[in-house]
Amino acid sequence: MDDQPAIAAAAGAGPFAALYVLDDETPGAFGIGAAQRWWLHHSLERLGSEMEKRGGTLILRRGKSVDIVSEVAAHVNAGTIHATRHYEPWWQASERALGNKLVLHPADTLIPLEEIKTSSGEPYRIYSPFYRKLSSFPVDPPSEATHRLKAPARLPPSDELTAWNLLPSKPDWASGFSVWRPGEEEARSKLKSWKEKVASYAHQRDLPSLQGTSELSPFLHFGEISPRRIWHALAPVPGSEKFLKELAWRDFARSAVLADPKIGVKSQRSIDIAWRSGSSADADFEAWTRGETGYPIVDAGMRQLWKIGWMHNRVRMIAASFLVKHLLIDWRRGERWFWDTLVDADYGNNSLNWQWIAGTGVDSQPFNRIMAPIGQSRKFDAGDYIRRWVPELAALADDLIHDPPSEVAGYPQKLVGHLEARERALSARQHG
């Protein structure tokens, strides 16, 4: 409800129908993933009850969004349709298809991206000039939540949320997701506690054992808190600059999507890599998804992802790099796995970061910079993080835990040695 100018505009104009459409058709392969379905269920449940408390009703419908929005608009005889502007290519196409009845509101970015263009009028593809330009605009203050809603007399029918079966049942793999409480009340409370810690972000953000990041990503993705709300709460706090600069990466990822809508499926730079495929690559991929690569930092990250639908950023980088460079598996397979398992899966952020790691992005590290997982684990002091997520290794001392001896019971052998993997990756690049 907070900083949702579309809701505020609709409520300001009189009675209105609030509609959420679950559209698995329009996004194609980017339909909402399994972990996010769990989040969506709880988020809609809370949003529906918030709206009811304020006198409104949330209508739930499933199907192709353009058709359903048009149908509901006709049913309630709506003169205008208010929505938040999105940047995913399939939503942009849907927005165009709805024609001039649709009024789009900026709420998903710090600055409306239409304003952040290069001198030739194109969306930015390189972060530094993007951020310089973004910083030259003031971030608009967030709008306040609307407290009184009114539904029209004749509402169209709504689906039952439970009939959507968004929660897993057999098996219930989401029991570990109880660390999260979707919805804007929790988002506000996370922001409040983050305000006390944000000054340490610059020193702690890369240390997964300390968990020194905000954990706001799924709340941001689902619109439960707005980037402008976060910006205005934290900008006055001394030492928050590094965090705000990272928050702007989210806007940058959307700019990168505008510049190249196919960023999620197509390498931006053709670097001719002979990716591995076939049964041995498939077996390695599966071991990676299960957190059984024999590299503790990678395994800890992948198990954290499976258990709670989220992974620390530094570890995402290490685990993604391991898949692409050590296992020489196409970044798109990793992107798909993250898409299905992350509660914060986001087209721009996920695609941009995978391409950055793979060295295929426009503004990315080169492919032949190969992260050493054990070195990274030591450098960022990941011992306690590993103990938490890889219980087989919990008893190991700090000097062993990053690279355990081969006889630790129950822990797998390395899928591939670091130096061997490095050589293989470099030659795949040269001769591919």
**Interface region with ligand FAD, contact rule CB under 6 A, candidates 94-102, 111-119, 311-319, 378-386:** 311-319
Please spell the DSSP secondary structure of 290-354, one letter per residue: HT-SS-HHHHHHHHHHHHHS---HHHHHHHHHIIIIIS---HHHHHHHHHHH-TT--HHHHHHHH
Site string for ligand FAD, 243-282 (x = CB under 6 A): ---xx-xx--x-----------------------------
What is the DSSP secondary-structure string of 232-271?
A: HHHTTSTT-HHHHHHHHHHHHHHHHHHH-TTTTTS-SS--
Whether omega for the bond prior to residue 171 falls within 30 degrees of 0, making it cis, is yes
The residue within the footprint of ligand FAD, chosen from 68, 317, 343, 390 (CB under 6 A), is: 317
Q: Which amino acid is at 179?
A: V
Contact 226, 105 (CB under 8 A): no
Residue 346 near ligand FAD by CB under 6 A: yes
Q: How far is the CB of 262 from ligand FAD (least distance, A)?
A: 17
Give 19 or 248: the residue with its C-beta nearer to ligand FAD.
248
Among 30, 180, 338, 389, contact with ligand FAD (rule: CB under 6 A): 338
Minimum CB separation of residue 350 from ligand FAD in Å reads 3
Per rule CB under 6 A, is residue 342 in the interface with ligand FAD? yes
Query: Taking CB under 6 A as the rule, does residue 320 contact ligand FAD?
Result: yes
Residue 166 CB, nearest approach to ligand FAD (Å): 19
Contact with ligand FAD (CB under 6 A): which of 84, 200, 209, 313?
Answer: 313
Angle between helices 331-341 and 279-290 (to 10 degrees): 40
Query: What is the sign, positive or negative, of the torsion defined by CA atoms of 338, 343, 347, 350?
Result: negative
Q: Which is nearer to ligand FAD, 151 or 247 (CB)?
A: 247
- 354 near ligand FAD, judged by CB under 6 A: yes
Query: Are 113 and 251 contacting, i.e. CB atoms less than 8 angstroms apart?
Result: yes
Is 205 among the residues that bind ligand FAD (CB under 6 A)?
Answer: yes
Interaction between residue 220 and ligand FAD (CB under 6 A): yes
Region from 58-66, 120-128, 207-215, 376-384 binding ligand FAD, contact rule CB under 6 A: 207-215
Residue 20 has phi, psi (to 5 degrees) of -115, 130
Question: Do 139 and 113 form a contact (C-beta atoms < 8 A)?
Answer: no
Question: 74 or 265, CB closer to ligand FAD?
Answer: 265
CA–CA gap between residue 88 and residue 23 (Å, rounded): 14
In sequence order, what are the residues at sequence separation of 6 or more whose Cβ sits closer than 8 angstroms to the Cβ of residue 375?
none
Among residues 385, 376, 420, 378, the alpha carbon closest in space to that of 400 is found at 378
Closest distance of CB 11 from ligand FAD, Å = 27
Q: Does 357 bind ligand FAD (CB under 6 A)?
A: yes
Residue placing its CB nearer to ligand FAD in the complex, 82 or 221:
221
Among 316, 333, 387, 424, binds ligand FAD (CB under 6 A): 316
Q: Give SS3 for 122.
A: coil
| Minimum CB distance to ligand FAD smaller for 1 or for 315 | 315
Query: Is the Cβ–Cβ distance between 241 and 250 less than 8 Å?
Result: no
The residue type of 93 is: A
Stretch that binds ligand FAD, among 166-174, 346-354, 387-395, 411-419 (CB under 6 A): 346-354
Asked if 213 interacts with ligand FAD (CB under 6 A), we say yes
Nearest distance from C-beta of residue 348 to ligand FAD, angstroms: 7
Give the length of the chain.
Answer: 432
Interface with ligand FAD (CB under 6 A): 205, 213-217, 220-221, 246-247, 249-250, 253, 313, 316-317, 320, 338, 342, 344-346, 349-350, 353-354, 357
